Amino acid sequence: MNQKRPGIFNILILSMLICIGTGVALLPLLTRDEQTPFNWLSALLALGPFTVVAAVLVRKEYQVRRLRNDLFHKKTQLQRTHNQLDQLKEQLDHAAKLAGATEMATGILHNVGNVLNGVNVSVSQLTQSLHDSRMDSLGCIVELMQEQGENLPHFITGDPRGRNLVEALAQLDQIRQEEAQFLATELNELSHGVHHMRNIIDMQQSSAKQVHQYEAFNVSEVIDDAAKLYSNALERLNIQLVRELDDTLMAQTDRPSVMHILVNLISNARNAIAETTHDGPRLITIKSHAVSHWAQIQIIDTGSGIAREHLNLLFDYGFTTREAGHGFGLHHSINAAREMGGTLTAASQGPNTGATFTLRLPTVASVPNEIFC
């Protein structure tokens, strides 16, 4: 109804102009007397301007109608496009949620895999220690003592083998203490690994619920916990770990996430040194100190280094230069650092020059960036 009103209004104006023009043209005819001749040329000239205006109005009316129809079709297309965009947005939101969940799960599995490497080393050490235990000779001593029966006191005092029993038992006790200490150390490492895997699972659950625990903690303690997970692996590869830490440095963010980032970085440093081709020192240095309002942690290795063309790709999802790598760890680490309000960067002078990874954490709790939906 509203679209027709302008057209009807224009038609009325056009009709009025035609009538006025016709009246003006015929006015000399109506008002002339017998002595005044009628001039048709003057009538046509009087009607001309009104005819021109009428023609212009007709043309404009046609153009307006055509533009109105075009606008109506454009509006319909825009509405259809808008509806399609809404549907695409819903699909993208759903895809983003799935991608975020997939990325988180990938990072969790990668971290668990890193911890399992240390756990496997501890289990192998325990198995080997039990297999090679020198306490097996205790059975022979007990069997020898049982064979003597009531003659055991005379055997101990009179027989050369008996006189060696006390010394042999003393040596076995020393062996028992050494093996017990070794087993306790390995079990402690194994316990740390299991505890860390539990923290990883807890972090995954809390991330799924968008709940983050931002707490104040000592940075050196977290570094020590992460380093302990790789102490045996580094020792086997003859890699020296050096700590240059500020024991008073505090950070205020999500502690489990920091632990996972450090585990990834130490694991990468270990792999880089294991794959290096130079004959230089095999060294990982961990430094921590305050920089402005940041708690800065640096992990410096003397490994295979990073090519310049790879530095910009290093944190991309799926990018890796290792044959056995997956490209998940650094991508997950930089996302975790950003989510906590921190940063993670890498630097290297090129192949076989080592690399430095710098993690900066806020010393004052900040609002997290919700990367994952």
Distance of CA 38 to CAs 19, 28, 41, 228, Å? 20, 7, 9, 119
- Residue 133 corresponds to which tokens in the numbers above? 């235990």
b vs e for 133-159, b when ≥16 Cβ sit within 10 Å of the residue's Cβ? Answer: eeeeebeeeeebeeebeeeeeebbeee
pTM exceeds cut of 0.85: no
d(C-alpha 357, C-alpha 359), whole Å: 7
pLDDT bucket at 371, cuts 50 / 70 / 90: very low
Tokens 């880089």 belong to residue: 272
- Whether 281 has a pLDDT exceeding 60, the answer reads yes
Of the ranges 20-34, 288-302, 358-372, which one carries the lowest mean pLDDT score? 20-34
Identify the pLDDT of residue 17. 62
Out of 3.30.565.10, 3.30.460.10, 3.40.50.720, 2.60.40.420, the CATH code matching 212-373 is 3.30.565.10
pLDDT bucket at 332, cuts 50 / 70 / 90: confident
pLDDT bucket at 33, cuts 50 / 70 / 90: very low
Identify the pLDDT of residue 210. 47
Q: What is the mean pLDDT of the chain?
A: 76
* No. of helices (H) and no. of strands (E), the chain: 10, 7
Of 331 and 239, more confident = 239
d(C-alpha 200, C-alpha 263), whole Å: 11
- Whether 287 has a pLDDT exceeding 50, the answer reads yes
pLDDT bucket at 93, cuts 50 / 70 / 90: low
- Whether 276 has a pLDDT exceeding 80, the answer reads yes
Nearest to 208 by CA among 352, 97, 361, 294: 97
d(C-alpha 227, C-alpha 263), whole Å: 8
d(C-alpha 259, C-alpha 219), whole Å: 10
pLDDT bucket at 372, cuts 50 / 70 / 90: very low
Distance of CA 13 to CAs 22, 24, 25, 148, 333, Å? 14, 16, 18, 137, 74
Of the ranges 49-63, 198-212, 319-333, which one carries the lowest mean pLDDT score? 198-212
Mean pLDDT of 140-163: 74
Of the ranges 100-104, 114-118, 303-307, which one carries the lowest mean pLDDT score? 100-104
Task: For residue range 110-130, list pLDDT tens digits in order.
Answer: 667 667 777 777 777 777 777
* Share above pLDDT 70 across residues of the chain, in percent, rounded to a whole number: 68
Distance, CA of 40 to chain centre:
90
d(C-alpha 129, C-alpha 134), whole Å: 9
d(C-alpha 190, C-alpha 174), whole Å: 24
